[in-house]
Structure formats: C-alpha cells, structure tokens
Copies of this chain bind each other. A is one copy, B any other.
Amino acid sequence: MSGLRLLVRDVAQLATPAGREAPLRGRDLGAVEVLEDAFVLCAGETIEAVGRMRDLSRVLEPRDHEVVEVDARGRCAIPGLVDCHTHAAFAGDRVEEFALRAAGASYEALHARGGGILATVRATRAAGEEGLRAAVERHRRWMLRHGTTTFEAKSGYGLDRETELASLRAIRAAGGIPTWLGAHAVPPELDGDAGAYLDFALAEVLPEAARIAEAADVFLERGAFDAAQARRYLTACREAGLALRLHGDQFSEQGAVPLAIELGARSVDHLEATGPDGVRALARSDVTAVLLPASALFLGQPMPPARALVDAGAAVALATDFNPGSAFCESLPLCCSLAATQLRLSPAEALAACTVNAAHVLGRADRLGRLAPGYRADLVLLDAPDWRYLAYHLAGDLVAATIVGGSPVELR
C-alpha cells in the first residue's frame, strides 16, 4: 500500500451501520456495530482497517513509517454524514418571510403571493455564476462543520438556462453531487404556464443539464407541478440518462408515490402527508423514502410517518432539505435529534438513515456511509463519550474534527 496512511487511534466508541447491504430496511436499519477503544487506519483516500486498539499491532507493523496519527481519546467516530437532499445553490435569504410566517402567514400563501421560491429565484439569478459559486462553497463549509462530508444539491432557483446550468456547475465545483431540479416552480416570466415552461426546460436546458447532473427532481404539489407534468418531465430526464427523484406528499398527496414507483425513481422525498396506502406501496418498492424533519419543524407541519415506513419495511433516509425558505438548516445532527424525538426512530436508525441509506439514494453505497475496509475514509469525530450524542445532544457543538478522503480538514 503506497501513499499516506492516517491512523485515527484511541477512539472511545466507533459506530457504523453493520453489514455491507444497501439500503437497510426494517430491523436491519437499527443494526449498528459499536467498537469501544477503536482505531481506523486509512490508506490514501480509503479505509484499510477498522478494529480495536488491542488488535492494532496485527495490522500495523512496528516498522511501518509514514503513518500520521490522530489522537481521538474521549471522542467517538462515525461515518462522514451524507446529506442526500439539499437546495444549497441559492443566493440571498428569506429571513423577512420567516418573520412574517412566525406572525401567522402560511408557506403556501407566501408562495402564492410571489414570495417563497420565486423570491429566491430573483436573488439567485442576480448573483451571477461567481456569486453562486461563493454561496455553494460557503454552504459546503457550513455543512462540513456539522459533519456532512458528502452532499447532494439541487438547482431549481434559476429556472432559466443560464442560472440552472450555473447552479449545477457551482455544485460540482464545491464537490457536491448535482441534481437538476428543473421543475421546481414555473418562472415568473411564464405567468403560471407550466406546460410552456416544461417545453422550454426539456428542449433548452435538459441536454446540457444531463451532462452535469446525476439526477433530476420535480416538485409535485398543488401550486407547483401536477402528476402528468411530473411524468412528462421525469420521463424525458430518464431518457437523457438521469436518475430520478421526486418531491412528493409535502402538503398533500398528489400521486407522487405511485409515480415514483412506476418510473423506478431512486427516492421520493418529504412524505409529510403520506397516508397508509403510500406507506404500504413504498414498503413493497425499491424507492427510498427521504424524510426531512427539519423542514416539517421549520414550517410547523406534521412530521412524516417515519415509524410506520420503517416498520412496514420501506427504505428510509434522512436529509436536511437545506434551503432558505422552508428549512434554513444544514445540520444532519439536528435531523437525527428530530428523528429520535419526533419521528420515533432510534439513534441507530437515524445514523443509518443519514449515512448508508443516504449514500444509496446517491448511488454510492458501495463507497460511502460505513466505517469498513474499502469504503472511502470519510469520518467524523464527535466531542462526546457516546456516539448516540449525535441525536441526544440537541443542537450541541458536537463535531470536533472531520476527516475527508483520509485527510483531516479544518472546520473553521
């Protein structure tokens, strides 16, 4: 093995989803392997070995040189967190709208009045490509401070060719995994004509978007796109080689779950309004249910039926939904706390949901989401005596250090 080797040693507790399968479902979701007094040995960007300190001499010869050591006494190690649903490519903020909503205005009412998504579209178009790159890079650093070492991010605040493509490029430039959310809203210049907008987007943006993005996404909801429009958009995107995602059942059931299953989407995301039929259908399918509890909290919406989904056998992932309007929150640890307190998921289930299962949604579960040999050496050291502080320490300043691709990175 050549190249730099990094030894993270004396880890108080190391916790990782068990096994090698993905996605984890049902009881397997809560199967976390915990090693006390552990080490992680990284070779280049990859994990070479994981074990207990007493067994370290079996993998590390005394004469081994060029091993850099990281002292993790009093700290716990978990896999680098994977955020599989963010809208990190935006400029500006929606703090004014947030204050109005605290005073009683509904999210849907603000959206209908030209606030909401379209307010961010104006700011994002005005930012220019450089401004967008700076914004996504800033958001990447915010996420990293909370332990997110891999993030997906969507376009969708451009809604014109130039800004949609600039958004996707900015996400790539910051190391994110880009999703083309071409069907997020109808831009103001088309005055609500969703069909005309899709004509434009599929003809003018898709060919280039498909070269940059890995997946396509659509906001299927009253006031956004209906099921027929979503089907048209997603079908064209699939033909262009993109994986499929859907925003579905956030405020009302509009057919997102059956459409996701029919089209073989990787995920359907939100599900706050999903009823028992949707739960059962997802449990029988290969579509992962991506739950976004910070969004539900931020909007004061009901929480998604997480316990029912897990118990029925659905594949479940957790993500932040980081965006300026409905979830100004980049913290996956907060989402784990909400999972434990609001979604009735155990800390172990929450961990798997924002590591291995989130990696599965991004098509990377063979390399990301576990601390095991052959996986990418992305790990988070928690300032905590028990790894479950990830969920327990609500809004705590928990991330002591992050190692990305085998290298420690500065958080601030």
Binding site for B on A (CB under 8 A): 93, 95, 98-99, 101-104, 142, 145-146, 294, 297-300, 327-331, 333-334, 339-342, 344-348, 385-386, 388-389, 391-397
Q: Are A392 and B342 closer than 8 Å at their CB atoms?
A: no
Query: What are 8 A-B interface contacts by the 8 Å CB criterion?
Result: A99-B346, A103-B346, A142-B397, A297-B394, A300-B341, A330-B396, A331-B395, A395-B395
**B297 touching A327, Cβ below 8 Å:** no
CB closest chain-B residue, reference A330: B396
Are A391 and B102 closer than 8 Å at their CB atoms? yes
Q: Indicate whether A102 sits within 8 Å of B328 (C-beta atoms), given known contacts A95-B389, A386-B95.
A: no
A328 and B95 CA atoms in complex are apart in Å by 27
Ranked nearest first, the 7 interchain pairs of A and B with the lowest CB-CB distance are A329-B394, A334-B395, A102-B340, A331-B395, A95-B392, A98-B392, A395-B395
A392 touches B93 (CB 8 A): yes
Assembled-state Cα–Cα distance A383/B186 (Å): 33
| B329 x A102 contact (CB < 8 A) | no
Residues of B within 8 A of A341 (CB): 102, 297-300
A193 to chain B, nearest CB (A): 33
Copies of the polypeptide in the assembly: 2
Query: Which residues from chain B contact A334 at a C-beta distance below 8 Å?
Result: 394-395
> Is B102 a contact partner of A298 (Cβ separation < 8 A)?
no
Check if A385 sits within 8 Å of B328, measured CB to CB. Answer: no
Residues of B within 8 A of A392 (CB): 93, 95, 98-99, 328
Judge whether B394 and A328 touch: CB under 8 Å. yes
Cβ B388 vs Cβ A340 within 8 A: no
Task: Indicate if the CB atoms of B342 and A300 lie closer than 8 Å.
Answer: yes
Question: Nearest Cβ in chain B — how far from A58, in angstroms?
Answer: 32
Please tell me if the beta carbons of B394 and A294 are within 8 angstroms of each other in the complex. Answer: yes
Nearest CB of B to A98, in Å:
5
Could you tell me the distance in whole angstroms from the C-beta of A316 to the nearest C-beta in chain B? Answer: 14
**A26 CB to nearest chain B CB (Å):** 15
Once bound together, how far apart are the Cα atoms of A346 and B340, in whole Å?
27
C-alpha gap A24/B201 in the complex (Å): 53
CA distance A103 to B334 in the complex (A): 18
In the docked arrangement, what's the CA distance between A62 and B186, Å?
Answer: 56
How far does the alpha carbon of A102 sit from the alpha carbon of B328 in the complex, in Å? 25
Contact (Cβ within 8 A) A394 B300 = no
A95-B388, A385-B93, A391-B98 known; A104-B344 Cβ under 8 A? yes
CB-based contact B347/A145 at 8 Å: no
B95 and A327: CB pair below 8 A?
Answer: no
Q: How far is the CB of A90 from chain B (nearest CB, A)?
A: 14
A95-B386, A330-B396, A386-B93 given as contacts; is B102 within 8 A of A346 (CB)? yes
B388 engages A99 (CB within 8 Å): yes
Chain B residues near A348 (CB-CB < 8 A): 99
Q: Which residue of B lies closest to A350 (CB)?
A: B102
- Given the complex, which residues of B lie within 8 Å of A299, measured CB to CB? 341
Q: How many Å lie between the Cα of A305 and that of B37 in the bound state? A: 47
Residues of chain B lying within 8 A (CB to CB) of residue A297 = 341-342, 394
Tell whether, in the assembled complex, residue A329 and residue B397 are in contact, meaning their CB atoms are under 8 Å apart: no
State in angstroms the CA–CA spacing of A142 and B300 once bound together.
28
Bound-state Cα–Cα, A344 to B98, Å? 11
Are the C-beta atoms of B298 and A98 separated by less than 8 Å?
no
CB distance from A158 to the nearest CB of B (A): 22
Residues of B within 8 A of A331 (CB): 394-396
Query: Nearest residue in B to A333 (C-beta to C-beta)?
Result: B395
A102-B344, A331-B394 given; 14 more Cβ-contact pairs under 8 Å: A93-B392, A95-B386, A98-B388, A99-B348, A102-B391, A104-B344, A146-B395, A298-B341, A299-B341, A300-B341, A300-B342, A328-B394, A331-B396, A395-B395
